[in-house]
Structure 1
């Protein structure tokens, strides 16, 4: 049997998935709220991690150690960078993640972790600094399914930050550091933990806003999380009977 863990920072980003799969609370799961469902050959676990990189990393580590998943899916909402080709209500699929504000502020400007020379991960012949690789085959499969299902979706690099960008100038600064289509607050942490455990990771988010001068009247948070959960319901159904994911 396969085991897939789906994580999101808030209940709003998971509730429709839990309802659609008839998942029930898993007793004895420890400090995290975990909901379980069976689907074909697959066990699904839905977990609310809390906001930010620290909560996401703690949760992902506990989940990988305790449940040994075949796939980790990180979801929720995200902000799209202007010029990315994404709009509010679209889906964004990550082909890589990036710790976009881990680095050094120098007199000549911001520099990444490679300046320090200390990687965030070192092992299996890899030295990772800011960029965390994701499984491109898994990402491409999700993108293809979304496109075939009539969803407007785009794949590209994601940037994870500790402070959401509330100005257009901050978004421009992030893009000067790293290429990216979508900003979020947890993805790189989940991706790094999954990578360190040798577990494929898929990150897909609904676009709730553009990275611009903050204007909540232009946001659609509920629509974004509804759309991405609608897609993930189809995605989990589609892969539920695959004999072996990993």
Structure 2
């Protein structure tokens, strides 16, 4: 039986999936709450990581070591950049991830990790600096499945940040560094750990807000996390035939 792990930073971002799959809490999870279900001929594990890159990386490492998954899906909400084609309530599918904060502030401006020649990962003939690759086949199939299910979705690069962008100017600054459709706080950490372990990784997020001058009246967090979980519930129905799953 194949094994798929779904991670999110908060309980809210997993709650509807736990209900949809009738997942039950696994005993002995320790500091990392894990729920288990079977669906579509696959074992599904759901893990609430906590927010931020440190929590996400620690959780992803523990999950890879303990459960040896065939696929990791990282989900939750995200903020869409201007010009991405995304609106609140849409879905964003990552074709790559990026550590958008890691780098060097120089007199002439911000530069990435390649400036100092220190990769975040080096092995298997790869040197990764800020950009973390994701499985393109898995991402494209997810995008196709979203379109077939009537979900509005856009695929593109995601940027992972330590500080959420609360101004349009900050969003413009990030886009000058790297192309992107969506920002979040955990995705690149999960993607990097998955890459290190050779596990395919899919990241799908619901858009809760635009990256603009912060105005909570324009946010819809409940709609964002509800929409992406509704999609993933459909996606996981055919878990046994997902690409990359053996």
TM-score bucket (shorter structure): over 0.9
Relative to the length of structure 2, the TM-score reads 0.98
Q: Secondary structure at the match of 2:238?
A: helix
Residue 169 of structure 1: SS of its match in structure 2? helix
Q: Distance in 2 between matches of 1:32 and 1:232?
A: 21
Question: What is the alpha-carbon distance in structure 2 between the residues aligned to residue 167 and residue 199 of structure 1?
Answer: 35
Aligned equivalent of 2:215: 215
Equivalent residue number for residue 190 of structure 1: 190
Question: Aligned-residue CA RMSD in angstroms?
Answer: 1.1
Instruction: Name the CA distance, whole Å, in 1 between partners of 2:206 and 2:115.
Output: 33
5+ residue gaps, structure 1: none
Task: Verify the 8 A CA contact 1:100 1:160 in the aligned structure 2.
Answer: yes
CA distances 1:20-53 after superposition (whole Å, capped 9, x unpaired): 0000000012220000001132000000000000
Unaligned runs of at least 5 residues, structure 2:
none
Q: How does 1:218-237 map to 2 (within 5 A)?
A: 218-237=218-237
Pairing 1:69-88 to 2, within 5 Å after superposition: 69-88=69-88
- Deviation of 1:241 after TM superposition, in Å, equals 5.0
Greater displacement, 170-179 / 23-32:
23-32
**How far apart, in 2, do the equivalents of 1:180 and 1:241 lie?**
30
Tell me how far 1:238 sits from its aligned partner. 2.0
CA distance in 2, matches of 1:180, 1:245: 28
**Structure-2 separation of matches of 1:135 and 1:152:** 21
| 1:243 Cα deviation from its structure 2 partner | 9.7
Distance of 1:74 and 1:55 partners within structure 2:
13
Bigger Cα displacement from structure 2, 143-152 vs 39-48: 39-48
SS in 2 for 1:155: strand
Counterparts of 1:31-110 in structure 2, within 5 Å, are 31-110=31-110
Equivalent in the alignment of 1:174: 174
* Distance in 2 (alpha carbons) for counterparts of 1:88 and 1:45: 28
The Cα shift of 1:239 comes to: 2.4
Given the two structures, how large is their TM-score scaled by the length of structure 1? 0.98
3-state SS in 1 of match to 2:43: strand
Cα 1:243–1:166 shift into 2, 3 Å: closer
